Amino acid sequence: MSDLDFHIMLNAGSGTALAAGVTADQVVQQFAALGHRVSIDADSSKPFERRLLAARNSQAPVLVAAGGDGTATALAKVASETGKRLAVLPLGTANLLARDLNLPLEIDQWFAALPQMVERDIDFGEVNGQIFLHKVVIGAVPGIAAVREKIRGNSSWGARLGFMTHFFRALSRVRRFAAEITTGDGEPAIHRVHSIAVANNDYAAGLGKVFTRTRLDAGFLSLYIVTSLSPGDAVRLGLEMLLGTWRQDGALEIENVRSVTIRTRRRRVRAMIDGEVGMIDGPFEFRIRPLALKVLAGPVANEANAANDAGEAPPLQAAAG
C-alpha cells in the first residue's frame, strides 16, 4: 500500500479525537512516516457539503474518515459514487464500523496495521436514497440519543448521571405508535411499536457481542421491531445483549429482508442514522445495496467473510423473537 495517496476528512470534534486532542499535523505526520502523500481537511468551520465536494474532487484513490461512524457514512456516499475506497480511522465514540471491519481502535496501532489492510467490498443500506452503513432507528431511541449529543466530550460523572436520569425518565414516558410495515412484495401489516431499527446486515448473538456484525456482505437488511421498551425492558434487553440471548426476547421481532417500507401517521419523524439524529420525511423506503462500497479492512475481517470468499452465503430468512 506504500504507493497509495489518501484524502483525509478529520472530525476533530468526534469522541476519541476530542478526548485525545488529535490534531491534523499529528495525522499527517503518521501517514508521512509510512511514506504516504496525503491531503487533509480539518476545517470544521467550512460547510459540510463543501468538505464532501473537496473529497469528491480529490485525486486520491482512498478517502479516510478520521472521526466517528457519522463521518464514515458521509464519506461512504462519495466513495461509492466515485469508485474510491473508504478507510476508517476510528476517532469516534462507538466506532462500530471499525470494529466490524476488524480495525485497531488505538491510533498508533491503526497506523501500524495500515500496510496489512486489504480491500473488501461491503453492502450499504439506503433510506429514501440516503446511505447508512450501520442502522437507522425511528421511535423512542433517537429522542434519547439527541440528549447524548449535548454531553459529547463531557465525560464527567455528573454528565453521565444526568444522561442516565434522562434516559430512564424518557423511557417511562414513551408511548407506542402505529407503523405500517411492508417487506419486499408482501402485504402491509400494522404494528404497535416503541421503536423500529433497520440494520445493514444482521447483528450477531453471543457472549459480549453488543451491536456486532459478523458479515457486512450478506446482501440483506435486518428489521428489528421493538414492541415494548419500558425501563425494565431496556435493562432486560441490555443484559440479554451482553449474554447473547437477546434474539429470543418476546418484546422483539426480527426479519431479514431485501427491502422494507415503513409508514407512520406523522409526515416527518426523528430518526437516528448511524448515530446522527435528524428529521426525515416518510414514508421510509429502505433497500440494500450489495457489495457497493470498497473499504480497507483488517486482513482477516471475520470467519463469515472467509466463507463468502469460498462462495458460501446464508439464506435469506426470517426469525421471530
What per-residue confidence (pLDDT) applies to 167?
Answer: 60
In angstroms, rounded to a whole number, what is the distance separating the alpha carbons of residues 60 and 8? 9
Region(s) of the chain under CATH 3.40.50.10330? 6-116
Can you point out the beta strands (E) in the chain? 6-10, 38-41, 62-67, 85-90, 118-127, 130-132, 135-139, 177-183, 189-193, 195-200, 221-226, 252-257, 259-263, 268-273, 276-281, 284-297, 318-320
pTM for the whole structure: 0.82
Class assignment of domain 6-116?
alpha beta
| 3-class DSSP assignment, residue 183 | strand
Region(s) of the chain under CATH 2.60.200.40? 132-290
Amino acid at 121: D
Residue with cell 466463507: 307
For 132-290, CATH number out of 3.40.50.2000, 2.60.200.40, 3.40.50.300, 3.30.830.10 equals 2.60.200.40
Nearest to 78 by CA among 58, 52, 59: 52
The predicted-structure confidence for 262-321, as pLDDT tens digits, reads as follows 999 988 988 989 888 888 998 999 999 999 999 999 986 444 444 444 333 444 443 333
Question: What sign has the CA pseudo-torsion 231, 99, 123, 240?
Answer: negative
The predicted-structure confidence for 135-154, as pLDDT tens digits, reads as follows 999 987 665 554 454 444 44
